[in-house]
Structure 1
Amino acid sequence: MPNPRTANALAAIGSFLQAQQEAGYADETVRLRGTLLTEFLEHVLNEEKTASLIAEELVEPERADSWLDAADAGETRRRNTLTGPDAAAAYDSQRARIQTYNVFTAYLGLDLTRPPRHPGGATVWSQSRPTSCCAPSPYSGPPGPTPPPPSAPPRWPPSSPPPAP
């Protein structure tokens, strides 16, 4: 395949997913990334009323922000949710979109990393951005106290009836 940056966006997504499979990523991860990148492409093509884009055009930051904003507002949803069709996107869904975008742009050889967002679309900029896709959750706090060890290991199933009181 020619340079994926200058390839048709759909072809570049296909070669990216093939590279992910060859790198040993879990099938579920590859499938999710394919779904999210296709959602991104469909959003941009529909918004701009165009038939195709090259990959480098697709991943322009303004287009990524438009897609993330639309997803955050529930506009890219394919199924209903318990809170209704207009519910905001879940934090983990947005995080998966951003991670997928970042990994795809890195595959294209572009430095267009998007920062994580808090629920409601607020961008989180920090002095030291994590370089890994597996950054700690913003909801994790300091570890709580360690519970004391049990005095005796539990017996299950009990081999004898409990002692009478």
Structure 2
Amino acid sequence: MPENSSRSARTAVVAFLSAIPGEATRSLRRTYLQEYAAHLATLKDCPEAALTQADLLDPAHAAAWLDAAARGETRRRTGLRGPRTPASANSMAARTTTLNTFSAHHGHPLALTVPKPEFAPRLTPEEAHRTLRLLTAHQPDGILTATWERTVALIALAVTTGHGLAHLQPMTLDDLQLDRPLPRARVSRTWHPLDTVTRGALTRWTGTHHALTAGHLKALHGGDVHQLWVTTAPGRPRQGRDAPPAGLPAARRTLEAAHRRLTTLALGTPLLLEQFCPAEPENGA
């Protein structure tokens, strides 16, 4: 085993994540390593704090987690076929890549075979814009108004900029300039001009964003919420703690679930956000 194999799993994860320069990739790796640690703690019947770096690098443990994830046993949100919906090829590829990069960083590469990602067929530009206008104008029953507004704004940016969730999720309010004669949004350090539909969707969402976050600034130690995408409803209480309020930064999985629900309710089929992008699929998008 490599050096430091006896140190805590948490310390090993923090060291690995700190070496990743991109926030989107770092967030994705963090999500899957947290899932891995939670599964392993349950498997070993011990608290997560008791896990070591060696536990995470054990090939048998890695294989057990990947097998469980593929069967849908680690799913935290109900999928299209229920709470045990098998994981997609794309999410399994991301999990496997996470293990490969984590183990290589710590000098014990697992070199696992990465499943081939599967990409859904793209909408044509005309289909994407027509669908966006449809979603912008009609809120389906069964979805919160704020959630609808946030998801439509996210889709509008995907259509306009060609970027997927990996690049859109880290955006902040500073990445929008909606009051210019030619409004624009900054994604991955590049400014993109916005059409009137996208500008309208983002203006509506930023107004809701302000309403959701203004009520609890003091609870956030006086700091504003600069992240563009925030939660639209209170979270669930965990480990004896009060439920977190709405208006906190939204996780990638929260945005994905809301997008899937909106497209299913409005269109009758769960389109992926990448299907609205005119560019080629992005890694992790």
> Aligned partners of 2:117, 2:95: CA distance in 1, in Å?
16
Amino acid at match of 2:26: V
> Aligned partners of 2:35, 2:118: CA distance in 1, in Å?
27
> Aligned partners of 1:94, 1:101: CA distance in 2, in Å?
11
The alignment yields a C-alpha RMSD, in angstroms, of: 1.8
The structure-2 alpha-carbon separation of the partners of 1:138 and 1:95, relative to structure 1 and needing over 3 Å to count, comes to closer
Alignment of structure 1 residues 8-157 onto 2, 5 Å: 8-20=8-20, 24=21, 26-51=22-47, 52-117=50-115, 137=116
Q: Is the 8 A contact 2:39 2:74 kept in 1?
A: yes
Q: Is the 8 A contact 2:93 2:117 kept in 1?
A: no
* Alpha-carbon shift at residue 30 of structure 1 (Å): 0.4
**Where does the alignment leave 5 or more consecutive residues of structure 1 unmatched?**
118-136, 141-165
Amino acid at match of 2:58: E
TM superposition outliers: structure 1 runs of 4+ over 6 Å: none
> Aligned partners of 1:81, 1:6: CA distance in 2, in Å?
37
> Aligned partners of 1:4, 1:102: CA distance in 2, in Å?
18
Amino acid at match of 1:33: R
* Alpha-carbon shift at residue 139 of structure 1 (Å): 5.9
Higher-helix-fraction structure: 2
Amino acid at match of 1:74: G
TM-score by length of 2: 0.38
* Alpha-carbon shift at residue 83 of structure 1 (Å): 2.5
Q: Is the 8 A contact 2:96 2:114 kept in 1?
A: yes
Cα shift readout 1:40-89 (whole Å, capped 9, x = no counterpart): 11111111112312112222111001000100010101111222212110
Cα shift readout 1:102-123 (whole Å, capped 9, x = no counterpart): 0000010013211124xxxxxx
Q: Is the 8 A contact 2:37 2:56 kept in 1?
A: yes
Amino acid at match of 1:18: S
Q: Give identity over the alignment, percent.
A: 36
1:71 counterpart SS class = helix
> Which one has a bigger Cα radius of gyration?
1
Q: Is the 8 A contact 2:79 2:85 kept in 1?
A: yes
> Aligned partners of 1:114, 1:101: CA distance in 2, in Å?
8
Aligned residues between the structures = 115
The structure-2 alpha-carbon separation of the partners of 1:85 and 1:12, relative to structure 1 and needing over 3 Å to count, comes to same
* Alpha-carbon shift at residue 9 of structure 1 (Å): 0.3
**Where does the alignment leave 5 or more consecutive residues of structure 2 unmatched?**
120-285
> Aligned partners of 1:138, 1:54: CA distance in 2, in Å?
31
* Alpha-carbon shift at residue 6 of structure 1 (Å): 3.0
